[in-house]
Amino acid sequence: MNMADFLKSRKSTREFKKQNIKENDFKEVKKLLDKMNTEIEETEMTVGIYEYGKHISDSLRGIGGYAGVMIESPHYISIDIKNHAAKALVESGYYMEKLITGINNLGLGSCWVTLNNIDDERKRAIFGENSGNIEYLLAIGYAKPKNPFSQESFSERKGVEEIIFIDKMNNIVSMDTLEERGLGDLLFYIRFAPSTKNLQSWRFIVHNNYVELFLEEIDGEYYYADAGIAMYYFEELAKRQGLNNKWEVEMKPELIDGVNYMYIGCYKF
Q: Is the pLDDT of residue 139 over 90?
A: yes
Task: Express each pLDDT in 153-166 by its tens digit.
Answer: 546 789 999 999 99
Average pLDDT of the residues in 8-27: 89
pLDDT band at residue 146 using 50, 70 and 90 as cut-offs = confident
Task: Categorize the per-residue pLDDT at 22 as very low, low, confident or very high, splitting at 50, 70 and 90.
Answer: very high
The confidence score (pLDDT) of residue 103 equals 95
Distance of CA 65 to the CA centre of its chain: 15
Question: Can you tell me the mean pLDDT for 54-65?
Answer: 85
Q: Convert the pLDDT of each residue in 190-222 to its tens digit.
A: 999 999 888 999 999 999 999 999 999 999 999
Distance CA 192, CA 5 (A): 10
User: What are the sequence ranges of the domains in the chain?
Assistant: 3-141, 160-268
Band (167; pLDDT cuts 50, 70, 90): very high
- pLDDT score at 155: 61
pLDDT above 90 (res 66): no
160-268: CATH topology is: NADH Oxidase (3.40.109)
- Tell whether the model's pLDDT for residue 90 goes beyond 90: yes
For 239-250, b where at least 16 C-beta lie within 10 A, e where not — what string? eeeeeeeebebe
Instruction: Report the mean per-residue pLDDT for the chain.
Output: 90
What's the pLDDT at 24? 97
Q: Which residue type, as a one-letter code, is found at position 241?
A: Q
CB 214 within 8 A of CB 254: yes
Looking at domain 3-141, its CATH architecture is 3-Layer(aba) Sandwich (3.40)
Which CB contacts under 8 angstroms, 24+ apart, belong to 32-39? Answer: 32/99, 32/102, 32/103, 32/106, 33/77, 33/99, 36/95, 36/98, 36/99, 39/95
